[in-house]
Amino acid sequence: MEKSLEFKGIGKSYPGVRALDGISFKAEGGKVVALLGENGAGKSTLLKIMSGDQQADAGSVWLNGEEVHFPEPQAAITAGVSVIYQERQLIPTMSVMENMFPGALPKTKFGLFDKKRLRREAAEIIDKFGLPIDPAEEVGRLNVAYQQMVEIMKAYRRDSQVIAFDEPTAPLTDAEINILFDIIRRLKDEGKVVIYVSHRLAEIFQVTDEIVVLKDGQMVKTLNTAETNEQELIRAMVGRDIGDTYANLSRNEDFGEVILEVKNLTTPYIKDVSFTMRRGEVVGFAGLVGAGRTEVARALFGADPVISGEIILDGKPVAFKSPRDAIDHGIALCPEDRKEQGLTLRTSIINNVAMSVIDMLGKSIFVDQTQKAAIANSAVEKYSIKTPTIEKTVMELSGGNQQKVILGRWTNEKMTTKILVLDEPTKGIDVGTKAELYQRVCDFAKQGLAVMFISSELTEVINLADNIVVMHNGHVTGMVPRQDATEEDVLAMAMLD
């Protein structure tokens, strides 16, 4: 029987928000179907309903022609439905093979744990996927990419008939993405139903067969991938033609004096890094994965120890002993991993926005709640954060809205931010929100902030930054102004030793 997954009239509401409204489409085995839409379009909610993590208010889910209901995730897994989320569902202290066989460890005829058989069966799957992973390796010791591969192999071992991928390439290098795509094609060739969620349009065209576009919880259209193009998809997602994103930016052209000078900065992770930043300037940092860009940001933010070199702020040498020290001097960081390092996901928008200035609002139970709420409401209005209330927990927001919460923290009226460090700020963000964020960066520069913009998307850095610092293997290999930068030249510098 041909495999299929069908949604019929799926509806889901939260207080003040209609997350899904009458979603109907069918994904067939042997095809890769993309779910595409802006942050908040309803993609993640649909996956959670599909996996039994949440329940629909209306409509039904059909698997292989039969209606199914999953009251909890294990019911979906038992039925052959798996979702590979951005957040790993692994136990880091256990081995690869143990993580691949959760609750199903092979046993001998005497009922004892059969470790040899476990290793053999895990190795067979690993070899089938062509991955250089030791079955006995502790999962926590693997890089993020291989941890994700373990998640996929776990779903494959269960003989899942439906496998959904939620932003799977966000933490991966180009080489690792190619491995992932090979695996997805294998699943497709085996007749499995594959659902693929990504904001990267180039990937959609590379690996999918059909595209379902969602906007504000409703279906816009279903398209054959081979018969559409980027501009049509963007219009469907955003509801308008955003044109040439970079050409339409209103940039700052009036730079001030040098506010930051870094001289021969060396930490355990970078060596002899030197550059300057002026007030009102956007300085882009380009480089391949592991080049040292994030490590420069961490050193500036007082998160990594400085071995030698100087950081000169407003003409005076500084030595930050902690991030709090850097914040007090006007340096703010939006980290690469916003979920793990930038936000307290289980607390409210109001607490996340106000945490940077909580000391200014009073002590303990005497915190001025009215001011605290005013700061959060101002951020929601300023950045158009989609939420019914500032009491909503941050983990319930889309990736783009989470990023806006962090920006609201560092740019509220009580902060004295001088240097804003943005590390991979567009990761996992849709094209419409990206265009909005690019203009925000330019607006920050117009307000006199110096902006450090780190991105693995070379096009972003070249088109947004006023000047570009290129890194490789922990040191600077080149600097170039935007008007002279080409992708070929920057990439060549990024690969120099």
Residues 20 and 92 in one domain: yes
Residues 300 and 443 in one domain: yes
| pLDDT reported for residue 343 | 85
| pLDDT reported for residue 497 | 59
Widest CA span of the chain, in angstroms? 78
Residues 205 and 275 in one domain: no
| CATH number of the domain where residue 435 is located | 3.40.50.300
Residues 320 and 416 in one domain: yes
User: pLDDT (tens digit, 9 = 90+) per residue, 236-279?
Assistant: 887 766 566 788 889 998 899 999 999 999 999 999 999 999 99
Q: DSSP character for 131?
A: -
| pLDDT reported for residue 136 | 92
CA separation for the pair 303, 496 (Å, rounded): 27
Residues 278 and 153 in one domain: no
Are 419 and 450 contacting, i.e. CB atoms less than 8 angstroms apart? yes
| pLDDT reported for residue 423 | 92
Asked whether residue 303 is domain-assigned, the answer is: yes
Mean pLDDT of successive 10-residue stretches along the chain, which has 497 residues: 90 84 95 88 91 94 94 92 82 90 75 83 88 90 84 86 88 80 91 91 93 92 93 81 75 94 96 97 90 94 95 95 92 85 85 74 60 86 86 85 88 86 86 86 95 91 95 94 91 80
Report the DSSP beta bridge partners of residue 423: 454
Q: How many domains in the chain?
A: 2
Residues 175 and 32 in one domain: yes
User: pLDDT (tens digit, 9 = 90+) per residue, 16-72?
Assistant: 778 899 999 999 999 999 999 877 788 989 999 999 999 999 999 999 999 999 999
Asked whether residue 461 is domain-assigned, the answer is: yes
Q: Which of 180, 209, 238 is the last residue in one of the domains?
A: 238
Asked whether residue 250 is domain-assigned, the answer is: no
488's enclosing H/E stretch is helix 487-494
Residues 322 and 458 in one domain: yes
Are 18 and 40 contacting, i.e. CB atoms less than 8 angstroms apart? no
Residues 268 and 219 in one domain: no
Q: Which of 238, 273, 305 is the last residue in one of the domains?
A: 238
CA separation for the pair 184, 190 (Å, rounded): 10
Is residue 80 helix, strand or coil? coil
Asked whether residue 252 is domain-assigned, the answer is: no
Residues 319 and 187 in one domain: no
Residues 231 and 276 in one domain: no
Asked whether residue 251 is domain-assigned, the answer is: no
Residues 23 and 171 in one domain: yes
Asked whether residue 248 is domain-assigned, the answer is: no
The range of the structural domain enclosing residue 100 comes to 4-238
Cα angle: 56, vertex 58, 63; to 5 degrees: 70
Residues 200 and 335 in one domain: no
Q: Which of 174, 209, 238 is the last residue in one of the domains?
A: 238
Asked whether residue 249 is domain-assigned, the answer is: no
Asked whether residue 47 is domain-assigned, the answer is: yes
432: number of Cβ within 10 Å: 22
